[in-house]
């Protein structure tokens, strides 16, 4: 992988713009492994080779001057901006919609070392989220989930309660099944068979189910699952051919902050487009920004921070390299 090149001379107006997010501190992680891997890439430049089809002469092609040919052969810049996001449901809801606005609305970093350059007026070309999981390979997620978030975030808060449409038939059947189970457990006397308990003294207490939590107001029209437009299986093949063996794809992002972030970002990317529009049409005000989420392991379990950073660079180059493909 080429060395990381700082963007010292401003941003080329023709550069592809990429936003990469990592998570903030959580639990035992004073500095989140995802942020450790992401932050070296802030305000750096990668170079993407020009697409081969632009360099092959065609009988139908317009006359190309020497100046135009030189421009076409020039590697295109990919400028990377990184952002740390707190491990908080509310922080995701407050931040992610702005990342997809045109122009994007980005919160001001608390660390002056991560001052943000001016966001692109037409939005980022690619938004890549990274979070930490357990020990093991890199895990590139394919699906984000709308509901089913039961765990507390770093602030000790839950995801918002969402009232789902009631399934009357299903609810009645479940209620009857629960009543029969209690009856069998309590026996004909109406009490559990517990030594020392007077028959009939037991009181049946119904424990209400935990409320559903996830995405409610503003996300009603989105489906229960959203899938990334990035061709993850092909990306996995590319990474393995590049020597990154510790990687696989996943259909379950975990129903915690990573999954919550992924679904929110996928939904916001689709909010202003029609199903017929494709993300590959760059510089269009109605493009759907490709969104990807990758789980990385804790440091050296088994991958080092440097290895994760290298994988992130390779993924950015591969995704950006496909913008000109049909």
Residues 156-214 have pLDDT tens digits of 999 999 988 764 444 555 555 555 555 555 454 444 444 443 344 444 455 667 899 99
Mean per-residue pLDDT, 150-156: 97
**Which pLDDT band, with edges at 50, 70 and 90, does 130 fall under?**
very high
What is the pLDDT, as a whole number, of residue 285? 43
Task: State how far the Cα of 154 lies from the Cα of 92, in Å rounded to an integer.
Answer: 12
Backbone torsions φ then ψ of 144, nearest 5 degrees: -110, 150
Q: Which is more confident, 113 or 242?
A: 242
pLDDT digits 0-9 by tens, 65-74:
655 455 456 6
Check pLDDT > 80 for residue 145: yes
pLDDT digits 0-9 by tens, 250-259:
999 999 999 9
What is the pLDDT, as a whole number, of residue 209? 76
Quickly list DSSP for 253-288.
--SSHHHHHHHHHHHHHHTTS-TT--TTSTT-TT--
What is the pLDDT, as a whole number, of residue 53? 45
Check pLDDT > 60 for residue 325: no
Task: State how far the Cα of 149 lies from the Cα of 151, in Å rounded to an integer.
Answer: 6
Strand order in the sheet with 76-85: 5-6, 44-48, 76-85, 16-23, 126-132, 291-296, 138-141, 247-250
Both structure tokens of 310: 């290298």
What is the pLDDT, as a whole number, of residue 11? 87
Q: Are 122 and 14 in contact (CB under 8 A)?
A: no
pLDDT digits 0-9 by tens, 154-169:
999 999 999 887 644 4
Mean per-residue pLDDT, 151-155: 97
> In whole numbers, what is the pLDDT of the chain averaged over residues?
82
pTM as predicted: 0.79
pLDDT digits 0-9 by tens, 278-324:
444 444 444 689 999 999 999 999 999 999 999 999 999 999 998 86
Q: What topology is assigned to 5-54+70-163+209-278+286-321 in CATH? A: Aminopeptidase (3.40.630)
Q: Specify burial of residue 285 (Cβ count, 10 A radius: 0-12, 13-18, 19+).
A: exposed
Scan for tokens 């009543």, then name that residue.
Answer: 179
Peptide bond into 103 cis (omega under 30): yes
pLDDT digits 0-9 by tens, 20-30:
999 999 999 99
Could you tell me the residue ranges of all domains in the chain? 5-54+70-163+209-278+286-321
- DSSP label of 214: B
What is the pLDDT, as a whole number, of residue 169? 44
Check pLDDT > 80 for residue 122: yes
What is the pLDDT, as a whole number, of residue 6? 65
- Where helices occur in the chain by DSSP H, the ranges are 33-38, 66-73, 89-99, 168-186, 232-241, 257-270, 305-320
Count helices and strands (H / E) in the chain. Answer: 7, 10
Task: State how far the Cα of 189 lies from the Cα of 167, in Å rounded to an integer.
Answer: 33
Least Cα distance to 9 among 40, 42, 44 occurs for 44
- DSSP label of 114: G
Q: Are 77 and 50 in contact (CB under 8 A)?
A: no
Q: What number of residues does the chain have?
A: 326
pLDDT digits 0-9 by tens, 221-231:
999 999 999 99
What is the pLDDT, as a whole number, of residue 276? 42
């Amino acid at each position: 992988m080429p060395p990381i090149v700082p963007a010292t001379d401003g941003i080329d107006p023709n550069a592809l713009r990429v936003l990469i997010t990592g998570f903030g501190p959580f639990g035992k992680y004073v500095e989140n492994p995802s942020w450790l891997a992401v932050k070296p890439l802030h305000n750096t430049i990668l170079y993407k080779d020009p697409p081969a089809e632009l360099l092959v002469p065609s009988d139908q092609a317009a006359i190309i001057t020497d100046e135009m040919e030189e421009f076409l052969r020039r590697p295109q810049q990919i400028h990377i901006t990184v952002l740390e996001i707190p491990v908080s449901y509310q922080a995701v809801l407050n931040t992610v919609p702005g990342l997809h606005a045109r122009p994007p609305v980005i919160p001001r970093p608390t660390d002056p070392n991560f001052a943000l350059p001016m966001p692109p007026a037409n939005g980022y070309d690619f938004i890549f989220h990274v979070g930490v999981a357990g020990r093991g390979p890199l895990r590139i997620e394919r699906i984000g989930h709308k509901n089913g978030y039961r765990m507390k975030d770093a602030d000790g808060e839950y995801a918002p309660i969402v009232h789902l449409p009631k399934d009357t038939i299903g609810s009645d059947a479940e209620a009857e099944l629960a009543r029969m189970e209690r009856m069998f457990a309590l026996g004909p006397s109406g009490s559990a068979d517990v030594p020392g308990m007077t028959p009939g003294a037991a009181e049946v207490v119904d424990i209400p189910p935990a409320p559903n939590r996830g995405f409610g107001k503003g996300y009603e029209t989105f489906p229960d699952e959203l899938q990334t437009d990035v061709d993850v299986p092909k990306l996995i093949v590319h990474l393995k051919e590049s020597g990154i063996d510790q990687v696989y794809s996943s259909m379950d992002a975990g129903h915690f902050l990573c999954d919550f972030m992924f679904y929110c970002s996928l939904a916001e990317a689709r909010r202003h487009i029609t199903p017929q529009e494709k993300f590959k049409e760059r510089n269009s005000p109605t493009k759907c920004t490709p969104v990807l989420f990758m789980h990385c392991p804790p440091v050296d379990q088994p991958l080092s921070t440097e290895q994760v950073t290298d994988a992130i660079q390779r993924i950015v180059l591969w995704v950006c390299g496909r913008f000109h493909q049909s």
